[in-house]
Chains A and B, each alone.
Chain A
Amino acid sequence: MRGRADITRFAGVRVPSSDFEAVNNGLLIQYEFTEIDLTNARSIAAGTQLEVPYEGNVIYADQNADVGNCTIIFQDTAKSLSKPARLYVQPGSNFQIPFTRFMLENTAQAGKVMRLFYGVDIEFKPGNTNNVQISGTVNVAETGSSYGASYKSTTGLAANTPDTVVAPGTNVNGLKVWKARWANRSATVAGFLAKASAPATVIDGDVIVGTNMDQYSSGGSASSSGWLDTPVIIPAGKGLYFISTTLEAEAYRSVLYTVL
């Protein structure tokens, strides 16, 4: 038998990763298979287990719809029969365990078989063609968001004079705004805007947070507030600003964000 270095090479064709020399010489099998009817139950306790005298170090259960399930105890003839634990085998199961024989137990499964492919040094990499389905109630736990920086201010702004939360030059790869909220007095329309330069009005840019609530009192004073409904990513190149149409007598605003 020639070694790998002796294999004739063709231009543009690499040496195969699997040892076809050994396969061609009958020293390695590609794979064998066996099909076991699962109609009747088998168990060691009842003395009805199936003892299969096959050897290999890889075994794979077919994924066809007619394949049921079973448990297997892989064994070597030199080992005790009672020590190894049962391995549950279902369609798609893939074990890399050396064995010279195995014992099979199964519940009665009418119309089902266990179709096993096995061999030596074979890598079974079955694709999963099934859809993943989740049944029943799925509980979703709110884990919160991990922000990288925060902004907060109690500085009342003059009319149409923006405050820079994040400068456009800082936003090179995008800016994720996790939370943003504001409240003020004496200003009825305000909000957070995204823009590549400082905005001049409350609509001079992309409105990230507008005014959610206005409140007027009989005395003529007013207060308003706004909050971000869901996290948003501001495209690269745009800064985040806050601006108000009128002078803010009192102000409170905050932002949790991450520069991407």
Chain B
Amino acid sequence: MAKTQTLKFEGDELTVTVDNGVDAKGNPMQTSWTVSAGQLGKHRAMFPEIEADNAVKAKADAVVAADAEVAKARGGK
């Protein structure tokens, strides 16, 4: 069903959008996820396209690493 998929960072927040064309009335059919920096590491397996785009992958690596540092500083795992 999915036709095109775009991945876009706004700050450290990633939005994954799947464009599925238009419905019978001509309305765009889209499905998207917006994932915060703290949730990005847990969502990477769900969006393997992240690894296919070098720029997105580099940004995702940086965001996940920074979040890990924040969690560590807060005493988390």
Q: Does B bind A?
A: yes
> Among the listed A149, A152, A153, A170, which residue makes an inter-chain contact with B45, where contact means beta carbons less than 8 Å apart?
A170
- Judge whether A34 is part of the interface by a CB distance below 8 angstroms: no
Number of interface residues of A (CB under 8 A): 20
Q: Are A250 and B43 in contact (CB under 8 A)?
A: no
Q: Are B27 and A154 in contact (CB under 8 A)?
A: yes
A140-164 vs B, Cβ < 8 Å mask (1 yes, 0 no) = 0000000011111111100000010
- Judge whether B23 is part of the interface by a CB distance below 8 angstroms: yes
- Judge whether B46 is part of the interface by a CB distance below 8 angstroms: yes
Q: Are A258 and B31 in contact (CB under 8 A)?
A: no
Q: Could you tell me which residues of chain B, from 1 to 39, have a CB within 8 Å of some CB in chain A? A: 1, 18, 20, 23-25, 27-36, 38-39
Q: Are A170 and B31 in contact (CB under 8 A)?
A: no
Q: Are B30 and A149 in contact (CB under 8 A)?
A: no
> Among the listed A151, A169, A258, which residue makes an inter-chain contact with B32, where contact means beta carbons less than 8 Å apart?
A151
Number of interface residues of B (CB under 8 A): 22
In the complex, which residues of chain B have a beta carbon less than 8 angstroms from the beta carbon of A154?
Answer: 23, 27-31
Q: Could you tell me which residues of chain A, from 229 to 260, have a CB within 8 Å of some CB in chain B? A: 249-251, 258-259
Are A148 and B20 also in contact (CB < 8 A) when A170-B42, A170-B46 are?
no
Closest chain-B Cβ to A25's Cβ sits at a distance in Å of: 43
In the complex, which residues of chain B have a beta carbon less than 8 angstroms from the beta carbon of A103?
Answer: none
> Among the listed A148, A152, A169, which residue makes an inter-chain contact with B46, where contact means beta carbons less than 8 Å apart?
A169
- Judge whether A52 is part of the interface by a CB distance below 8 angstroms: no
In the complex, which residues of chain B have a beta carbon less than 8 angstroms from the beta carbon of A163?
Answer: 31
- Judge whether A172 is part of the interface by a CB distance below 8 angstroms: yes
Docked CA distance A169–B46 (Å):
8
Q: Are A155 and B34 in contact (CB under 8 A)?
A: no
Q: Are B31 and A259 in contact (CB under 8 A)?
A: no
In the complex, which residues of chain A have a beta carbon less than 8 angstroms from the beta carbon of B24?
Answer: 249-250
Docked CA distance A196–B29 (Å):
26
In the complex, which residues of chain B have a beta carbon less than 8 angstroms from the beta carbon of A167?
Answer: 45-46
Q: Are A172 and B30 in contact (CB under 8 A)?
A: no
